Each structure stands twice: as structure tokens, then as C-alpha cells.
Amino acid sequence: MNGKWDARIRRAGELAQAHPFASEGLRFYQRLAQFQKFLYGSFETDCGQATRPCAPGALRDEFDPFVLLPRFPSLLGLVEASAPSILAQSARALQNEGAKRWQAMLEKFWWDGNESAAGAAGAETVISWIFLQPYAEYLADHIERPAPSGTPSVCPLCGGKPQVAAFRPEGDGAKRSLICALCSTEWDYRRIVCPSCGEEDVHKLAVYSAAEFKHVRVDACDSCRSYLKTVDLTKNGLAVPVVDELAMIPLDLWAAEHGYAKLQTNLLGI
Ligand SMILES: [Zn+2]
Ligand SMILES: [Zn+2]
């Protein structure tokens, strides 16, 4: 399963070269993903690779502080050394606190989610998110997937919000899926419906794309004013949705200018 981290790291490098406006964020993401790959591998080594049963939506019940806390200081060191200043300051302050405080912070994020990822107050949220994402992904990859039922608008394994949508080739066309911001599970979703409010009226669902990024578009909803990006793998098979999402900053600027709020802020705070 480790190959997916390499694909993300490689794709971030390609996009950083192609899109200088996003290169700083993508280079930072590369370092994070390198660390996340290492963490993910260490969970596989220490917690095993067997597949376990898990009730639908119950992935978050698996939180294990004994596995997590000894690994946390190395993330703080990485963030202090290579993150933008707000995150680095927060990491430095956290290094002086103890495991009890870290556990409280990580558990809060684990249960409350990444609602407040933007702005200075969100620094601890982002640090928790960077750290817990590979753990959630490890858990998701090693539990028996529940049979799909309906098309839920949140992750069927952990209840997280979608970070990005994807179109993947199916027959002559494309099927749409959503990708979880926490555990990276991908699940099928209907093409013409807003994942935030369930709006199905095509006249209220706006699509915006820019000539320079043909394979990524904004799907916005005029009922709830939310949006997310969709990465179209039928147009670019080399894309990695969670990474291409980070790179296409001009689409986020367009959405913000038109009064749409992102369904789920990404790890770079965008
Ligand atoms: Zn999930
Ligand atoms: Zn909506």
C-alpha cells in the first residue's frame, strides 16, 4: 500500500515544476507526505497488516494513544523545521508540553474533525490532521469494507467530509466519486447532486473550469454556496486527485471571489 504515497510525492514534484504559483505549498506537502509515508509504514510494521472487521462508520473508535503518542514528537520536529511560521510556532510550543496535552489535542481533532483548519487558531488542527491522516488511512486500508449502501455525502468509514471529487473512466463515460479528507477512502457518488446540501437541481449547480487546467474544475452549489473541486482522470490519467487539488489555487480564488465556501479546507489551509 506504500506505493500510493510515492505516487503523491512524485505528482507534487511534477505539479510544483509546472505551476510556480503553487510550488511552495507543494514542496511543503512533499515533505509532509514523505513523513506520512514513513508513519503509515510504521503502523503496518507495528500494528500488523491483517484485515479486521469494523462496523460501518466506526473507524474512529480505533484511536489508540499508545500507538500514536510515541510517534508525535518526530512530527513536531518536522513541522518546526519546515512549515510556514504559524505552524512552526505552534509545533515549537507543543514540544514543551507533555503527552497528556498532545493526547487531548489529537483526540479532540479525531472526534470533532477539521472544522477550524483555517487561520491561526487552526494550527493545532492542521498539525493533528497531518499526523492522524496516515493513521486513519492505515486503519481504513486494513478493515473489511462495508458493502456500499446508497451514496452517502460523508465518508462511509469514518464520517469525514470529502476533500475532493474525482471522475474515473467507466465504460464510455465517467463515474464520480468523493475522497475522504481524513482516511482517503474513495466512494461512489452521483454526478449531479451537491455533497453538502443534497441539491439536485442542475440549474443551481454551477461548474467552473479554467482553460489552463483542463482536468480540474470547481463544482459549486448556489443553494448552500459551497464548492469542491473535481479532478477528471478521464482527461488526465496521471493526476492524483488529493495532490492536484492542492495545486489548483486559482480555482479556489475564483470560488472565493464568487462567494462560495470550500466544503473542506485542505492541509495547506486553502
Ligand atoms: Zn474517511
Ligand atoms: Zn449545496
CB 208 within 8 A of CB 256: no
Residues 111 and 192 in one domain: no
The structural domain count of the chain equals: 2
Whether 152 maps to a domain, the answer reads no
- Segment 171-187 mean pLDDT: 94
Nearest ligand to the CA of 261 is 2
Is residue 259 within a helix (H) or strand (E), and if so which, with residue range?
none
Whether 148 maps to a domain, the answer reads no
Q: Say whether 209 sits in a helix, a strand or coil.
A: strand
Residues 27 and 121 in one domain: yes
For 219, the grid coordinates are 463544482
**Last residue within a domain, chosen from 141, 173, 201:** 141
* Ion ligand 2: protein residues whose beta carbon lies under 5 Å: 194, 196-197, 199, 221, 223-224
Q: Say whether 167 sits in a helix, a strand or coil.
A: strand
Pick the closest to residue 33 from 66, 62, 6 (CA basis).
6
Tell me: the pLDDT tens digits for 221-247? 999 999 999 999 999 999 999 999 999
pTM for the full predicted model: 0.95
Length of the chain: 270
Whether 249 maps to a domain, the answer reads yes
Cα separation, 128 vs 117, whole angstroms: 10
The whole domain housing 7 covers: 3-141
Whether 14 maps to a domain, the answer reads yes
Tell me: the pLDDT tens digits for 48-89? 888 888 887 888 888 999 999 999 999 999 999 998 888 999
What's the pLDDT score for residue 187? 94
Cα 191 to ligand 2 centroid, rounded to whole Å: 13
Residues 77 and 206 in one domain: no
Residues 134 and 198 in one domain: no
Cα separation, 215 vs 183, whole angstroms: 24
Quickly list H helices, the chain.
3-18, 23-47, 65-68, 72-82, 85-95, 99-112, 123-141, 241-247, 249-257
Tell me: the pLDDT tens digits for 108-146? 999 987 665 555 458 999 999 999 999 999 999 998 887
